[in-house]
Structure 1
């Protein structure tokens, strides 16, 4: 397993099943300039080994000690820490704050089957919310629909924001990772994938033209040389996927657009002038797409900020993707 900090539930399950013991530490609430946001997690095993972070390093030592005690007595804990201004400065903050951290021993408190279900859902890119009541210790895993907190969960999933709700409920949001698929390995794509990665997106370039989609032009990037609709079908675009077409060539852009419109992608943006887009709309209508489907397309792509250079256009595209993701 790739032991990344975004795989804390997976690591906790592995450690528990290996007999090492595992306690999940989760930031549930913050005040002021806290180092980590609600939902941030750390896992601690019985020997004190850790993965993840709940504070950037300023309270981890105390959390480890409490976690080992929680493993010993099999009870959950709520810890509150104040981060001083002086300590905050050492972890890159201008001022201090307060954080509240939930400790849950896996097995004794957090049921192994519930954690296993969460891990399976995450692997399948299925969004889930883990709900725990900090007053009654009731727990459940939910996708939202049909749950008493469905509306709250939906809003938090859109915002990627874990946190407290009325009645003592803490909602930990587990969304699939964000993905950006760029069709057309052109000059705009070079700064765009760099910016998208900085914003937390996993990026894939699609271009069957060897001259464009080369490792020399995009070192380290994932490049698919299949036809765009075939490549998109293999990627399985979903509601956490954005698609941007940049080729200017209908033979390449149109198959990708059709595939994206047939999926649940949250954003579809297409490069081209207003005139080019008008012709595109005529082709899509002739292909049987409804006005509502066609209205999902953002074109000309990007926010209208007067962008001129490839990097500026990439900024406008990334800004529009962010706007749609967060505001709908």
Structure 2
């Protein structure tokens, strides 16, 4: 499974090559309760076909009508929805919600190819477009940067797809893999036990046919990577965790009771991990929701992964706003 942005860009390029007019629509800013966050994007074809989402419903319908009627701007600009109570009800935006969308007509597939290649290489990229013109500037980006308007430019940040490496192809691993794919994670699974792999039935995952610690090293975990060990076998889990805790992975978790986790931390101290690295381990893994069945445990794990990701994103937004305010006196709103 590709990241939604990658799918949208691939389709946009294909549509342009087929002779269609194409617009990119991106959420710039939200107020109150809004369905999608800044940076959510869709590609829209002149006949109304689209890929991606900016609201999950009625705003897409209105954009489709604009595309079919030729009412989308030829020069990039902004559209706002949910400004009034009537509009909020019409477009299905939650009470008090409001969002601003940047609409850009793309006339040449070549302007999108560098962004697509950056996504494929798991690099961070900033794509800046000057409002009212077709000026585009590409540059480096910092992790956690969020789409925003600044001094007449719209900055859109493209980053790697979120990944989840699951150590263990048991029943819990299978349910976790299926749910994570629904949440748009690229899922990798590692389990060297042939008898366990033979029972695997979840499609769409990437298999790592090596020992778990080698799998962690080979994938080179970055800030968009989560790693969860669920084999319940210290010989498999611990070596993978040893490498994972030294990596840039934003989340590392392991299945097991509190007693087993205490024993695991003692084992990890026998290696060259420091207390800060060991403290990154989420164990027992998952939010404490009273989960007992494999499906409930998978929900708890993914809920905690999402919570950690959201906390880090909020911290990045705050840091970005402070940095912008200090450097320009005009922070990008989020």
TM-score, normalised with respect to structure 1: 0.75
SS of residue in 2 equivalent to 1:315: helix
CA contact (8 A) 2:88 2:94 kept: yes
Structure 2 stretches lacking a partner, 5+ long: 313-334
Once superposed, what is the RMSD of the aligned Cα atoms?
A: 3.6
1:307 counterpart residue number: 291
Shift of residue 242 of structure 1? Answer: 0.6
CA distance in 2: counterparts of 1:63 and 1:35, whole angstroms? 22
1:57 counterpart residue number: 61
SS of residue in 2 equivalent to 1:57: helix
Shift of residue 246 of structure 1? Answer: 1.3
* 2:141 aligned with 1:141: no
CA contact (8 A) 1:48 1:68 kept: no
2:126 counterpart residue number: 129
CA contact (8 A) 1:204 1:221 kept: no
1:292 counterpart residue number: 276
Higher relative contact order (CA 8 A, sep 6+): 2
1:246 counterpart residue number: 230
* Alpha carbons of structure 1 residues 165 and 233: separation in structure 2 relative to 1, 3 Å: same
Shift of residue 314 of structure 1? Answer: 2.1
1:149 counterpart residue number: none
* 2:202 aligned with 1:219: yes
CA contact (8 A) 2:221 2:247 kept: yes
* 2:330 aligned with 1:326: no
* Alpha carbons of structure 1 residues 311 and 65: separation in structure 2 relative to 1, 3 Å: same
2:24 counterpart residue number: 24
Shift of residue 228 of structure 1? Answer: 1.2
SS of residue in 1 equivalent to 2:196: coil
CA distance in 2: counterparts of 1:199 and 1:261, whole angstroms? 24
Cα offsets for 1:148-190 (capped at 9, x unmatched): xxxxxx5445xxxx3x345444332322111111111233324
CA distance in 1: counterparts of 2:46 and 2:287, whole angstroms? 51
1:117 counterpart residue number: 114
CA distance in 1: counterparts of 2:162 and 2:255, whole angstroms? 21
TM-score, normalised with respect to structure 2: 0.73
Shift of residue 266 of structure 1? Answer: 0.8
Cα offsets for 1:204-243 (capped at 9, x unmatched): 221122332334x533253444321233334333221111
CA distance in 2: counterparts of 1:68 and 1:56, whole angstroms? 13
Structure 1 stretches lacking a partner, 5+ long: 146-153
SS of residue in 1 equivalent to 2:165: strand
* 2:38 aligned with 1:41: no
